[in-house]
Structure formats: structure tokens, C-alpha cells
Amino acid sequence: MLARALLVFSDWLVPVLLVLILIHAYWKRVKVFEIFAEGAKEALTLAGSIFPYLLAMLIAIGILRASGALEFLSELLAPLLAFLGIPKEVLPMALLRPLSGSGALGVMTTLIAEYGPDSLIGRIASTMQGSTETTFYVLAVYFGSVGITSYRHALWVGLLSDLAAFLTAVWVCRLVFS
């Protein structure tokens, strides 16, 4: 029931959002076509600014995979992962996500390319990527900007909520997609 509802929600969200946003904007006398194009133009700059980081991370991940280091780590943690019901392929994703956004994006892409976007592993990786932030980066940037050096409990809260997101991602994907 929940599973069905989530799938319907996913199918409907984009078209419904599109229609509502467009009609509302037109009604507010926004030049919908021109403003849409203005926003869309930013995608080129954005893609350009992501590319070098993504390239660097994908190369590092490629090396780690080809060397067998990732496999080794996954085998090492296999019993714990099996206990939690986490497929061992997504482990690198969980390890990298709090440390590096581009790193996790790289792992997600490799997993999707290898297992397919519509496989369980691809779906779990997508859900993990979308549902958490790069905790260390966010804290460093935000606290750094005002010169704060003592983070108090913020780091623990961030990391524990990442963990909660990962476990939920695995559980909810298994429930909905199988």
C-alpha cells in the first residue's frame, strides 16, 4: 500500500509541479518561456563547474575498483552489512557520502552504470545520494565562514542522521521495489 503510494507519488510529482508552476507564473504575468530559458542557461555553467571534480573523483574510484581495494573492504565488512541487510556494493557510497559530495556522486554513477539505474543497487544508491548532504563539507563551509572552531554536537548529529538516512534508504527501497 505504502509502496504503491510512493510509486504513484513519484510518477505524478514532476508533471503536476510543471503544470502548477507554469500556470501560476503565467497568471502572475511572468514571461514564462523567456524566464525558463534564462534559468536553463545556468545548466551549462553548472555542468562546467562540476565536471573537473567529478572527473577527479571518478578516476580515483576507478583505480580503487580496478585494484580490488574496494572489494577487499566490502568482504571485510560483509558480515556486518549482511546483518543490516545492506547490499555490499553500496558500502563505498555510504562511506564516502559524508566526506565528499562529488565522491559519492562518482560512486553512485559507477554503480548505476554497472548495475543499471533500475536495479535495486542503482535505486538504493540514488536514494542515498538524494537524501543526505556532505556533512563534513557543510560544517566546514558554514562554521568556517564565521570563524567557529568548536562544532559541539553538530558533527555527531550530522553523521548519525546520515546513518539513519542510509539504513532507511536500504529498507524503503527493498520495500518499494521488490
Partner 1 sequence: MVNMLWLIMIVTGIAFALASGRVAELAPAIFSSAELAVELIIGLVGVMGFWLGLAKLIQRSGLLQGFIRLLRPVVRALFPSVPANHPATGVILMNITANLLGLGNAATPFGLRAMHYLQELNPRPKEASDAMCTFMALNTACITLVPTMVIAIRTAQGSRAPGEIIGTTLVSTLVATTVAVILDYFFRRLRGRR
CA terminus-to-terminus distance, the chain: 13
Q: How far is the CB of 105 from partner 1 (least distance, A)?
A: 7
- Examine residue 1 and tell whether it contacts partner 1 (CB under 8 A): no
Q: Which of 170, 92, 78 is nearest to 124 (CA)?
A: 170
The burial class, CB within 10 Å (0-12 / 13-18 / 19+), for 68 is exposed
Could you give the CA distance from residue 115 to residue 57 in angstroms, rounded to a whole number?
19
Q: How far is the CB of 117 from partner 1 (least distance, A)?
A: 3
Residue environment code for 87-106, b if the CB has 16+ CB neighbours within 10 A, otherwise e: bbbbbbbbebbbebbbbbbb
Sole binder of partner 1 in the list 22, 74, 77, 120 (CB under 8 A):
22
Q: How far is the CB of 89 from partner 1 (least distance, A)?
A: 16
- For residue 124, count other CB atoms closer than 10 A to its CB: 27
Sole binder of partner 1 in the list 17, 76, 82, 84 (CB under 8 A):
17
Stretch 114-173 residues interacting with partner 1 (CB under 8 A): 116-118, 122-123, 126-133, 135-143, 145-154, 156-158, 160-162, 164-166, 168-169, 172-173
Stretch 46-105 residues interacting with partner 1 (CB under 8 A): 46-47, 50-51, 54-69, 72, 99-100, 102-103, 105
Sole binder of partner 1 in the list 13, 16, 78, 80 (CB under 8 A):
13
Which is nearer to partner 1, 74 or 131 (by Cβ)?
Answer: 131
- For every residue of 93-114, DSSP letters joined together read HHHHTTT-HHHHHHHHHHHHHH
Q: How far is the CB of 77 from partner 1 (least distance, A)?
A: 16
